[in-house]
Amino acid sequence: MSNENASKSNTETKPKANTEEVIDSNVVALIEKKKKMKQSIEGAENTIREAKKSIKEIEKLLFRQCKHRWQYDYSCAFDDHTKHFCSTCGVWKNAYWYS
Ligand SMILES: [Zn+2]
């Protein structure tokens, strides 16, 4: 009984070249695609970094400008120092974080 049931693709395979300088066009395409994906990750990470910075600035303003309604956060750990957040704007009751 053979266990070789692994599915093989039916796409035509080119004969393998033994010369090192010849790079398969499929491989070139994959490398190109990978490069583009990496660039897109970098762009996305930049966007995230900038957005986080903006949120920090906004939270600083909110901390000063909102008439907070502090609410106890029951989900926080017993040793968390900041246990209250504003139910209106969502900032934490910790001035150090927003200075
Ligand atoms: Zn608030």
Tens-digit pLDDT profile for residues 12-32: 555 665 556 888 999 999 999
User: Percentage of residues in the chain with pLDDT exceeding 70?
Assistant: 76
Task: Answer yes or no: is 70 within a domain.
Answer: yes
Q: Would you say residue 52 has pLDDT above 60?
A: yes
Task: Answer yes or no: is 63 within a domain.
Answer: yes
State in Å, rounded, how far the first CA of the chain is from the last one: 72
CA of 43 to the centre of ligand 1 (A): 32
Structurally, the chain folds into a number of domains equal to: 1
Return the structure tokens found at 43. Answer: 């762009």
CA atoms of 82 and 96, how far apart (whole Å):
11
Domain that holds residue 81: 43-99
CA of 52 to the centre of ligand 1 (A): 19
pTM over 0.85: no
What mean pLDDT, rounded, does the chain reach?
A: 85
CA-nearest of 72, 65, 73, 54 to 89 is 65
pLDDT in tens, 57-76: 999 999 999 999 999 988 87
- pLDDT at res. 76: 72
CA of 92 to the centre of ligand 1 (A): 8
